[in-house]
């Protein structure tokens, strides 16, 4: 199967995954300039993460930065959600199974208006609404408490099942880490989702090839992950999870209804957007110096400026 990146010759219309699927990006008004807008959003969300680190002095930046482009595109491009009504019955759901990546979701929720950005300055503090792992009882917009790896997939499959039984057409998106796949509980949920034809369930795997203690393949080699999901009866896409166009294309594709759950295997770079930490397992949990944080903040702000300048040129 071709990855979306491999067929990225045409930006307005293309086939992916061997189907006749045509990208709907233009239909949504997302031509090339709007991809830039989405990239600006993701970069602003990264800056929110830097602000959280300024408050706490430490955090799981590696996994947050590899996943944040996907989480940002979900909230700013795809999901039917309302920050003013986080419990809206027919909302789409997002479960961050790999809860340690929560700075990514907090950064996005703040940018989307779920909470005031001043709350970012409480990250890591006692009684904060945004603790080190997500808590649905503390922060509106969080659908499940996660952090103990291996639970989000089953929670999401259960939600998708309940929504189907209640005849709601909401989608359920879930994000797993690639190291997290070593948890056996995932595979029970993978089998059940297929058996019950949960085609409103979409799973992203943040395939950054690293986990807490080094390379995923050295700790527990679960390859070939795509073939395993297919063998369970799932549909699978391979994309670059740090490429907005790839992500948007896959999200468009996820609207098909063919009775199969969809897994999107996202090749990502751990700590993407923080050059000093990219692909470095030491940045799984970062305790930055003041200087390093300021440098990261300046670099991301510059990136936003240059993306905005590019937008103005096109307009």
Ligand X SMILES: Cc1ncc(C[n+]2csc(CCOP(=O)(O)OP(=O)(O)O)c2C)c(N)n1
HSE-CB for 215 with a 13 A CA cutoff: 4
Q: What is the DSSP letter of 77?
A: I
CB 181 within 8 A of CB 222: yes
Q: What is the DSSP letter of 203?
A: E
Kindly state whether residue 148 participates in binding ligand X, applying the rule CB under 6 A. Answer: yes
Kindly state whether residue 220 participates in binding ligand X, applying the rule CB under 6 A. Answer: no
Among 98, 120, 239, 250, binds ligand X (CB under 6 A): 98
Q: From the CB of 59, what's the least distance to ligand X, in Å?
A: 12
Q: Is 206 helix (H, G, I), strand (E, B) or coil?
A: strand
In the complex with ligand X, the residue whose CB is nearer, 112 or 270, is: 270
* Cα 148 → chain centroid: 18
Tell me the number of residues near ligand X by CB under 6 A: 21
The C-alpha atoms of residue 309 and residue 298 are separated, in whole angstroms, by: 16
Kindly state whether residue 267 participates in binding ligand X, applying the rule CB under 6 A. Answer: no
Among 25, 43, 208, 242, binds ligand X (CB under 6 A): 208
Kindly state whether residue 63 participates in binding ligand X, applying the rule CB under 6 A. Answer: yes
In the complex with ligand X, the residue whose CB is nearer, 202 or 205, is: 205
In the complex with Mg ion, the residue whose CB is nearer, 70 or 163, is: 70
User: Which of Mg ion, ligand X, none does 247 bind, CB closer than 5 to 8 A by kind?
Assistant: none
Pair of tokens at residue 254: 């996820």
CB 144 within 8 A of CB 152: yes
The C-alpha atoms of residue 93 and residue 80 are separated, in whole angstroms, by: 9
* Binding-site string for ligand X from residue 1 to residue 40, where x marks contact by CB under 6 A and - marks none: ----------------------------------------
Kindly state whether residue 284 participates in binding ligand X, applying the rule CB under 6 A. Answer: yes
């Amino acid at each position: 199967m071709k990855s979306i990146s491999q067929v990225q010759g045409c930006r307005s219309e293309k086939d992916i995954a061997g189907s006749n699927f045509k990208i709907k990006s233009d239909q949504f008004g997302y031509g090339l300039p709007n991809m830039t807008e989405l990239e600006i959003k993701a970069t602003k969300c990264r800056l929110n993460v830097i602000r959280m680190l300024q408050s706490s002095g430490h955090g799981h930046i590696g996994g947050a930065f590899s996943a944040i482009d996907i989480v940002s595109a979900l909230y700013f491009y795809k999901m039917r959600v309302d920050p003013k009504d986080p419990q809206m019955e027919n909302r789409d759901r997002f479960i961050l199974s790999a809860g340690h990546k929560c700075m990514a979701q907090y950064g996005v929720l703040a940018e989307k208006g779920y909470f005031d950005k001043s709350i970012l300055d409480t990250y890591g503090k006692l009684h904060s609404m945004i603790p080190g792992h997500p808590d649905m009882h503390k922060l509106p917009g969080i659908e499940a408490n996660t952090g103990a790896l291996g639970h989000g997939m089953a929670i999401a499959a259960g939600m998708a099942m309940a929504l189907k039984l209640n005849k709601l057409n909401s989608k359920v998106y879930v994000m797993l880490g690639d190291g997290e796949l070593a948890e056996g509980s995932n595979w029970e949920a993978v089998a059940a989702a297929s058996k019950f034809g949960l085609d409103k369930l979409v799973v992203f795997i943040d395939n950054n090839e690293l986990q807490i203690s080094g390379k995923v393949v050295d700790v527990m080699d679960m390859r070939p992950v795509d073939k395993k999901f297919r063998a369970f009866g799932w549909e699978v896409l391979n994309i670059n999870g740090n490429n907005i166009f790839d992500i948007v294309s896959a999200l468009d594709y996820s609207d098909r209804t063919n009775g199969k759950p969809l897994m999107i295997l996202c090749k990502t770079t751990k700590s993407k957007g923080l050059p000093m930490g990219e692909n470095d397992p030491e940045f799984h949990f970062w305790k930055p110096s003041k200087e390093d944080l300021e440098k990261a903040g300046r670099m991301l702000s510059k990136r936003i400026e240059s993306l905005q300048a590019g937008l103005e040129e096109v307009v």
